[in-house]
Structure 1
């Protein structure tokens, strides 16, 4: 299916948006890196128009030195929605850090969205269910933290055969890491009052988690479902953090939920 890249100037930030598919729009917010790309969206593109922006300061979007927290990203996406002028209310979908951002976005603007899908969302920071600090993961071990089947994650990392590609990869990750650091500066990867925010999200929600997630433990999943007013949970066996890439067949179930 054809893929279109649209460029918007949002608050002085060149914002790159990958659009593919047809049908009701789905705004997808990626995680703390763009290393895995957006190819997973093809699994939903036969039923939905997948709208996949790169966060400001990440991926193909321009630098955003003004970012000082998640609220700046929330405002950025409200402005992007205004600029896009969608004819139909979109669904909202977020993965990992993007799940946290999608939750804050839905909490302050629930009327702008239809249904909500959260894939292994970050943000709660519950001490009883701690996430693995990314800074404590050795680079060589990182693929094994992203996927239960490490081969799934390794395809997104340099294999050592191309020095230029490895250098570009490192520069991209460094740039994105700096942006994530500023987004997380106020409270870390989340918000201390996120449960209060989640209680405002009356939209039907689906939480999806891999049972073998080594970055955000699946034990967090019930906390989300208990707090969101109208939520369902799907847990996937033998699945790590990269849910859409490791279990593309789950996109059928996600699509059925969105189409309900």
Structure 2
């Protein structure tokens, strides 16, 4: 069975996919830690979405794989398709968009950059990671996510924010020539419906799943439904 590669989002890491273990079955799960984040938090973060995409392609040794990108990881996944379209069989775009400028984000990226400089890395990590959950700091999985985010340096936080801010994939959406699933939580504070709708309407072979009463971390807030939707998509002959 085709391996599934997970590309986490901003201030994320491979440990955030622990509840997706049921997706393994007969398939290999490959969870990436981007430079500057997760288990690679000791490394300097890269400064552009294309650089991250090139790094992931070099890191994954599978000749062909399915690809799931979350948030900033979804942007990276779109770039990976442009660089190596033949290596990806199916694509999952999860809680992400095609534009780095996100007008309806809980705060403008420029504000996040300014506050990160003022408040420091650890405070910024906890504050932003709380927005990923519908129940904010009281969410069951918030402490684990906050610990992963807190490992990030200020350099990685600023680099990640600037990489997103300076990126757009709008002109490439129509060129994504493979089956795609767009997943979105209807209470997402980071990516609005307009971003999700843009993906859905512009990727040619695209299907949409909207999960109710979830924010930006659907895979942790409703893992059973999330896993079922991803599994059905990957295993269906389209």
| TM-score between the two structures when normalised by the length of structure 1 | 0.74
Counterparts in 2 of 1:68 and 1:253: CA distance versus 1, 3 Å: closer
Q: Which has the higher contact order (CA 8 A, sep 6+)?
A: 2
Counterpart residue number, 1:28: 6
Q: Which runs of 5+ in 1 are unaligned?
A: 1-22, 159-165
- For residue 111 of structure 1, the aligned residue among 81, 86, 109 is 86
The 8 Å contact of residues 56 and 64 in structure 1, kept in 2 or not, is answered as yes
Q: Which structure shows the bigger proportion of residues in strand conformation?
A: 1
Q: Give CA deviations for 1:105-140 in whole Å, capped at 9, x if unaligned.
A: 11221111100001101441466x522236269857
- For residue 156 of structure 1, the aligned residue among 123, 144, 160 is 144
Counterpart residue number, 1:130: 104
- For residue 181 of structure 1, the aligned residue among 152, 158, 163 is 158
Flag as ranges the 4+ runs of structure 1 deviating above 4 A. 136-144
1:202 aligns with 2:173: no
Equivalent-residue separation in structure 2 for 1:38 and 1:72 (angstroms): 23
| Larger gyration radius, structure 1 or structure 2 | 1
Q: Which runs of 5+ in 2 are unaligned?
A: 117-122
Counterpart residue number, 2:231: 255
Q: Which structure shows the bigger proportion of residues in helix conformation?
A: 2
Equivalent-residue separation in structure 1 for 2:89 and 2:99 (angstroms): 23
Equivalent-residue separation in structure 2 for 1:169 and 1:234 (angstroms): 27
- For residue 131 of structure 2, the aligned residue among 121, 145, 148 is 145
Give the alignment's Cα RMSD to 1 decimal: 2.8
Equivalent-residue separation in structure 1 for 2:45 and 2:192 (angstroms): 32
Counterparts in 2 of 1:183 and 1:256: CA distance versus 1, 3 Å: same
Counterparts in 2 of 1:154 and 1:27: CA distance versus 1, 3 Å: closer
Counterparts in 2 of 1:143 and 1:71: CA distance versus 1, 3 Å: closer
Q: How many residues align?
A: 220
